Amino acid sequence: MSLLDRLQALNDKAVSGLENCEAPAELESLYHEILGKKGELTEILKGIKDLSPEEKKHAGSRANEIRSDLEKRFKDAQSDLKTRAMEKALEEESFDVLRPVSYHAGGLHPISEVQYQVEEIFSSMGFRIMDGPEVETDESNFGSLNFSDDHPARDMQDTIWVEGGNLLRTHTSTVQVRSMKMLEPPFRIVAPGRVFRFEQTDASHETTFHQVEGMMVDKEVSVSHLIYVMKTFLRRYFEKDVEVRLRPGYFPFVEPGFELDFSCLVCDGKGCSVCKHSGWVEIMPCGLVHPNVLSAGGIDPSKWQGFAFGLGLSRLVMMRHKIEDIRHLLSGNMRFFKAFHGQAH
């Protein structure tokens, strides 16, 4: 068979092979067989050296013609296969536009949602958002907050100790300590965060929960400032006027110390199960910052005063969404969260 005939036969073989190709892999192997570096075309062209100059020219141009024609055919076949695969997939995945879809978009965790809202309200009152580590020193969690080494009040917050004498912070008051060292007075800060206690759990106690610490340091800060800020916060948060009252409370880092309650919004102060029929809901401990604490933070207590509070963020979330057991919050139970999101949005 002459070289030209062999070229023609190769062309015919390729054309009919292309017609039968059903899959990209088949197409690829046919390409290598015909046009690849070690393919049949290369093989045939090895014979060109034995031809006369006239024949050489003729065969060379025919070979080029065939190569460029086949290259194009292969390309077309490739895009044809792609289109066919897509059409097939579309046919198989019939799409019913009227079918109701279940929509699993991500959502904010209720704790984050409330945290962001609290941050926004306090920011609008000039408070700066601060953060601190969860693994802390004894000094930041207790020492600088006027708990001496053998202070009985250390037992108020059962502590989870970690290696090296450090601990998991039992309250966000650690960020008061860090803020005093970092900022020049006057300043106002809030510090939301996760805290840990070695406690028996029940419907309103978790070993891991969230608090928001607040602190204002300025000249002539009094209990009235504290009450004003908290009333404003509660009115903005619950979108209602809220009465507050103070009862005496004890913490070594405040003097005087209080428990702040607000009038129950569920029963308007008349008495219900949420407020245990008292008409008041306990929301947070607070007080005026003890002079020893200011001094430990590098602030001169003869020039500056301050108030501080520790809001139970998890409890605020529970009140907002009427969640009856705190243990749901960090359970990771998607059934609970789905129900919650359904109700909240």
Applying CB under 6 A, the residues found at the interface with ligand FA5 are 157, 171, 173, 197, 199, 205-206, 209, 211, 251, 254, 284-287, 308-310, 312, 314-315, 326
Residue number with the smallest Cβ distance to ligand FA5: 312
State which residue, 31 or 258, has the beta carbon closest to ligand FA5. 258
Helix-strand-coil split of the chain, %, nearest 5: 50, 20, 35
The reply to whether omega before 256 is within 30° of 0 (cis) is yes
Could you tell me the smallest distance in angstroms from the CB atom of residue 209 to ligand FA5? 4
Q: Measuring CA to CA, which residue among 291, 289, 271 is closest to residue 281? A: 271
Could you tell me the smallest distance in angstroms from the CB atom of residue 190 to ligand FA5? 11
Could you tell me the smallest distance in angstroms from the CB atom of residue 315 to ligand FA5? 4
Distance CA 340, CA 321 (A): 8
Could you tell me the smallest distance in angstroms from the CB atom of residue 215 to ligand FA5? 8
State which residue, 254 or 275, has the beta carbon closest to ligand FA5. 254
State which residue, 21 or 190, has the beta carbon closest to ligand FA5. 190
Could you tell me the smallest distance in angstroms from the CB atom of residue 294 to ligand FA5? 13
Could you tell me the smallest distance in angstroms from the CB atom of residue 104 to ligand FA5? 30
State which residue, 77 or 311, has the beta carbon closest to ligand FA5. 311
Distance CA 173, CA 132 (A): 10
State which residue, 66 or 284, has the beta carbon closest to ligand FA5. 284
H/E segment holding residue 26: helix 24-35
- Beta partners for 188? 216
293-321 burial, b at 16+ Cβ within 10 Å, e below that, comes to bbebbebeeeebbbbbbbbbbbbbbbbeb
Could you tell me the smallest distance in angstroms from the CB atom of residue 247 to ligand FA5? 12
State which residue, 10 or 175, has the beta carbon closest to ligand FA5. 175
Could you tell me the smallest distance in angstroms from the CB atom of residue 188 to ligand FA5? 14
State which residue, 33 or 238, has the beta carbon closest to ligand FA5. 238
Measured between alpha carbons, how far is residue 10 from residues 46, 73, 222, 231, 238 in Å? Answer: 14, 14, 98, 90, 83
Measured between alpha carbons, how far is residue 179 from residues 2, 28, 185, 190 in Å? Answer: 93, 67, 10, 10
Measure the CA dihedral 258/263/269/271, to 10°.
-60
Q: Outline where 183-272 has alpha helix (H).
A: 223-238
State which residue, 185 or 252, has the beta carbon closest to ligand FA5. 252
Token pair listed for 182: 């970092």
Q: What is the CA radius of gyration of the chain?
A: 38
Q: Which residue has the tokens 């609970």?
A: 336
Q: Measuring CA to CA, which residue among 193, 137, 179 is closest to residue 311? A: 193
